[in-house]
Structure 1
Amino acid sequence: MGLFSIDGRLVFFNVALSYKRAAKALSERNMSPARAAELDYKPLDGGWGWMVVFGAHISIGFAYSTPKVLSIFFEAIQEDLGAGYSEMAWISSIMLAAMYAGGPVSTVLVNRFGSRPIVILGGLMCGVSMVAASFGSSLLHLYFCIGVIGGCGLSLNLNASLTIISKYFLARRPLANGLAMAGSPVFVCVLAPVNEYLLQKFGWRGSLLILGGLMLNCCVAGALMRPVILPRKPSTCALQKNVEEQPNKCNTRLKGSCMNNAKKFLDWTFFKDRGFIIYLIGNVLFIFGAYAPFVFLSAYAISQGVDEYSAAYLLSITGFVDMFVRPSTGLIANNKWVRPRIQYFFSFAMIFNGTCHLLCPLSKSYGFLVTYAVFFGMSFGMVFALIFECLMDLMGNQRFPSAVGLVTIIECFPILLGPPAGGLLVDIFGEYKYLFLMSGSVIVIAGLFLFLLNIYNYYMLEREKPAEDREQNQKNIENHDHNTSDTEMKAAMEQTEPQAKEKNGAQRDPRPENAETPN
């Protein structure tokens, strides 16, 4: 704990004390720092919410698995169109970047129309994109159809699903998020061998056509996302019943200027929050190195002499392990001892993930590659089971939709550059080990950054808390003095009123006290 020189022991004690208080408070409430008081209603934490989680499981599953499992077609497309490794990596990169960059637009659409129609629209876009890509004859055609159109459709699915989960759950939100995010490993586990089978039977064009039909199931998933119905309130519009799902029927005119609309689109006040800045920088570093190993894992296995089916099953192994790790991580994160320290749990998962990539080049046989795939799936599942929960923990339910939109649009830049940078290393050196070393080192740095800066952030929050308390106490004292002075003045006025009335009555009676009344 040498971070703060000679005051290290005192800092450690203060941080530990603050965590102890936070753990006690959170265990009493059994929910995150985003309190239920921030909402105008009590989340269901169950009921139809589990059907919503199932729908989110499907839409999120396609959103995160599709850019990964498309790598199975890359070798066939590369031979057909005569492209290099870095050029092929742009397909998944553009798709992921469009998915992340569409976050703010998706947030605005969800706030305006609700999650159900947006997920249905996203499913239609994904299906159409894959069908159109199957007729492509150039990389530019694939970049546009799969990357741009398909990525935008996945963005609508992802953000709408995350938003509606935050409306249905609070106390059980980590578990719900873990189950929903488990859709990614489940679909990777299933689609990887399915895509390999389709590739052998129908080629890459027929496979994309069939995959487009499968992605239309996102429309069914969207139909499950029923709006959250609230009781009517006399102080609000009579027609407004939803938390975030019903369109605003009370106001049909556009409000405000272009500046106000821009503020709704992107809330730049998040950059004044120290915790948000720390989270954002760590995530940007992680995202840069997160997806390149997925994109090139099958190709790396084939370069080591593994057959194509066994190479595809490495992705399935990763997804299978990830499938069980995500809900388990959600359960662990919901524990009263872990919940207040969830940011540190997130940092540990990130360091674990980066270490797996650093050790991957040591794998020379298929058995070692399977071991790597197991730990890769475990660490990756831990990170992505916590990645949005940590943001909800920092921002709260009310600010989460805008926060996740801003985070995703910023993360589109590292996700756009990460896989092509890895492919460029393969083109330059002719070996895959430099790709894994680059990804692992960047992710480990991101995890260490989050861990150390979160220690600093909690320490500063503990130091700033007494000042805030003193300021609040001073305001309370001033208000009390003001109220006391008003009370005393009112009492004085009440005392002077009878005296004034007696005086006025004496002035109105001109007769002397001993005057006799005439008969």
Structure 2
Amino acid sequence: MLESQRIFEVPNGGYGWVIVFGALLINMLNRALYSVFSLLFGPFFNSIDISQSEIALVMNLTSFFESIASIFTGAVLKFFSIRQISVTACILTSVGLTLSALTVSVYQTILTFSVLAGIGFGLLNNLTIVAVTSYFTTNKSKAISFSSAGTEIGQIILPQIIKHLSLHFDANMSIMIMGCILLAGVIGALLFEPVQSHMKLKEVNENHALISKPISIKNDENQKRTSFWKKCINTLDLELLQDSRFVVLIVVLACNYAASLDCLLIFPYFLQHAQFMDMLEQSLL
């Protein structure tokens, strides 16, 4: 007679849907901010006399620091929990956006928004996906779809918020208020509890447990001989760069992302100057 053994498995739902809501809230406030960048910063940049090329530099550097932060997300997760990093990232985006309202030059805006907020954006982009997928097995695609819907919801709501802020406050105060609104993402980040505390017990027979249990063999001698460069590769999970197809895919996606980002930035200015549409009319699009 086969003996049964208890193992832990992810809930595949349950508290995982609370994680989905937290990720949706973060995406709604942070990832959707790109689509309203020109609406939020347009009047402010005009007041401090920043050219469109300098505005593009701010946005592209934000994307650069976002990408750099994404590379180090896996390494940071080895030392801190998802909740700790997510809360820190939400605070970075809020502080970066709020301090941007106090800048008087493009270089100060780069330091506050591109660096601080960009790093926060990069960390949150990966953390929301990791947090959601860790709670699901067969419902991963559905959970990710629901959490990603927060970006589209934010693209609908945030322009209306900015429109009302512009009617009652100046450009600097509107940016500072939006920075405070981004702090609401901390609520979603606090919901990111470790999946270990919500795992369910499942009974399986002994043969199945032996087959499914991963076997890891450690070689202490080889670990001692590991070079510093190899440790960096393992920490940052850069083994995928050895695959040429993966590198080509990264380059193509990077070019596509850069082109779409520039289009997203320039299009509102085209509507404002070529089509004679003010910010309130743009927010309705």
Query: TM-score band, normalised by the shorter chain?
Result: 0.7 to 0.9
Identity %: 19
1:121 has 2:88 as partner: yes
* Larger Rg belongs to: 1
Q: Does 1:170 pair with 2:140? A: no
Q: Which has the higher contact order (CA 8 A, sep 6+)?
A: 2
Q: Quote the residue 1:443 is aligned against.
A: none
Q: Residue 310 in 1 paired to residue 276 in 2?
A: no
Among candidates 102, 106, 117, match of residue 139 of structure 1: 106
Shift of 1:220: 0.9
Any unmatched runs of 5+ in structure 1?
1-39, 233-254, 315-519
Relative to structure 1, the CA distance from residue 58 to residue 231 in structure 2 (aligned partners, 3 Å threshold; closer, same or farther) is: closer
Matching of residues 180-329 of structure 1 within 5 Å: 180-229=147-196, 258-273=228-243, 276-302=246-272, 303-314=274-285
TM-aligned CA deviation for residue 67 of structure 1: 2.5
Answer yes or no: is the 8 Å Cα contact 1:119–1:160 preserved in 2: yes
Taking a change above 3 Å as real, the CA distance of residues 95 and 310 of structure 1, as seen in their structure-2 partners, is: same
What is the CA–CA distance in structure 2 between the aligned matches of 1:204 and 1:307, rounded to whole Å?
14
Structure 1 residues 101 and 63: alpha-carbon distance in aligned structure 2, compared to 1, 3 A threshold: farther
CA gap 1:90/1:224 in 2 versus in 1, 3 angstroms: same
Structure 2 residue runs without a partner (length 5+): 1-6, 202-223
Measured against aligned partners, the alpha-carbon deviations of 1:154-203 in whole angstroms (never above 9, x if no partner) come to: 22222211112221123111111111111111111111121122123212
Contact 1:67 1:95 in 2 (8 A): no
Matched to 1:265, the amino acid is T
AA of the residue aligned to 2:276: G
User: CA separation in 2, counterparts of 1:57 and 1:76?
Assistant: 29
Contact 2:19 2:192 in 1 (8 A): yes
Deviation digits for residues 71-125 of structure 1 (CA, Å, limit 9, x no counterpart): 1134312321222111112222222221221012222222321211111111111
Q: Which residue of 1 aligns with 2:210?
A: none
Corresponding letter in the other structure for 2:87? I
Residues 302-451 of structure 1 aligned to structure 2 (within 5 Å): 302=272, 303-314=274-285
How far, CA to CA, are the matches of 2:130 and 2:138 in structure 1?
16
Over aligned residues, Cα RMSD in angstroms?
2.3
Question: 1:30-69 maps to which residues of 2 (within 5 A)?
Answer: 42-69=9-36
Q: C-alpha distance in 2, partners of 1:313/1:84? A: 25
Distance 1:73 1:176 in 2: 30
Going by fraction, where is helix more abundant, 1 or 2? 1
The structure with the greater share of residues assigned to strand is: 2
Q: TM-score if structure 2 supplies the norm length?
A: 0.81
Task: State the alpha-carbon separation in 1 of the partners of residues 29 and 234 from structure 2.
Answer: 28
**In the alignment, residue 283 of structure 1 is paired with which amino acid?**
L
